[in-house]
Amino acid sequence: MKYALVTGGSRGLGRAVCLKLSAMGYPVLINYKSNSEAAQETKSLIEEAGGNAELMPFDVSVQSEVEKAVDEWQESHPEDYIAVLVNNAGIRRDNLMIFMQDDDWNSVLNTNLNSFFFLTRRVLKNMLSKRWGRIVNMASLSGIKGLPGQTNYSAAKAALIGATKALAQEVAARKVTVNAVAPGFIATDMTKELPEDELKKMIPVGRFGKPEEVASAVGFLVSDEAAYITGEVISVNGGLYT
Ligand code: NAP
């Protein structure tokens, strides 16, 4: 059976992506770091809608944890494979560069970028041998435009876009597509402390986006209809500069 793994599936965009992929028929592996209650809520929402989900806690920024979790899951599911991988888990630690601490830089790069390498390399083997896979990376407007106060986050997301385009060309012949979605301002825990009333004046659509509006773009990229789209970045940002 083909499974979908969504990192950071406990809350926010990841939860909406889990629900979308479940509605498309995938059993979903819900990764998260520490918020078991929120992850369990995502699982319950999937089950209430008639889908199947398993919790898969691990820290995406720690290579040994990533590989152990995937290896253990694979051992207990010898007939199945992770056919859809959504690299969504992310954090931000904003500060002007002159004030930025080593840990602000390293934790953002490890969680938003190095996690992509740790997890994708491990999961890719089966996608290539089964000759079908979908990888969607959660980038950001910040990785396209660059945002002041986010040199760490912009660097991680821009690199993720570069990696998306490079990997897409490596694996296209095996029917594995690799794309990115670049949200603008979406209403989640990550943006709840931002001055929404001020910021939405800059957004042509005039509001923050909803997690479901990002999840629908991910769902499209995962669908068979998107088989000829790879190495692409879809912005979901209400018309904000790209
Ligand atoms: P969020 O509400 O803060 O949720 C973050 C999710 O990532 C949670 O599920 C969290 O798990 C998980 N996570 C964080 N660090 C992790 C780690 N080391 N290992 C495993 N899981 C980890 O964030 P969001 O707004 O949904 O953002 C999701 C993605 O979209 C991120 O990559 C973010 O950069 C990107 N994005 C968001 C926006 C926006 O406006 N919201 C815009 C552009 C891009 P726990 O629940 O266990 O903490």
pLDDT in tens, 32-48: 999 999 999 999 999 99
- Answer yes or no: is 170 within a domain: yes
Per-residue pLDDT, 108: 98
For residue 118, what are its two tokens? 């740790």
> Model's pTM, two decimal places?
0.98
Mean pLDDT of 18-32: 98
Number of folded domains that form the chain = 1
Tell me phi and psi for residue 81, to 5 degrees. Answer: -150, 155
Mean pLDDT of 122-128: 97
Query: 33 CA distance to ligand 1 centroid (A)?
Result: 10
Mean pLDDT of 46-66: 98
CATH number of 217's domain: 3.40.50.720
Mean pLDDT of 91-119: 98
User: How much of the chain exceeds pLDDT 90, in percent?
Assistant: 99
Whether pLDDT at 242 is above 90: no
Whether pLDDT at 57 is above 90: yes
- Answer yes or no: is 66 within a domain: yes
Which ligand 1 atom sits closest to the C-alpha of 60? 19
- Answer yes or no: is 116 within a domain: yes
- Answer yes or no: is 242 within a domain: no
**Contact (CB, 8 A) for 229 and 178:** no
pLDDT in tens, 146-159: 999 999 999 999 99
- Answer yes or no: is 121 within a domain: yes
Q: What is the mean pLDDT of the chain?
A: 98
pLDDT in tens, 163-207: 999 999 999 999 999 999 999 999 999 999 999 999 999 999 999
Domain of residue 117 covers 2-236
Is 153 in the active site?
yes
| Residues within a 6 A CB radius of ligand 1 | 7-8, 10-14, 31-35, 38, 59-61, 88-91, 111-112, 138, 140, 183, 185-186, 188-191
SS (H, E, C) the chain: CEEEEECCCCCHHHHHHHHHHHHCCCCEEEEECCCHHHHHHHHHHHHHCCCCEEEEECCCCCHHHHHHHHHHHHHHCCCCEEEEEEECCCCCCCCCHHHCCHHHHHHHHHHHHHHHHHHHHHHHHHHHHHCCEEEEEECCHHHHHCCCCCHHHHHHHHHHHHHHHHHHHHHHHHCEEEEEEEECCECCHHHCCCCHHHHHHHCCCCCCECHHHHHHHHHHHHCHHHCCCCCCEEEECCCCCC
Mean pLDDT of 13-30: 98
One of 26, 81, 153, 228 is an active-site residue; which one?
153
Per-residue pLDDT, 241: 78
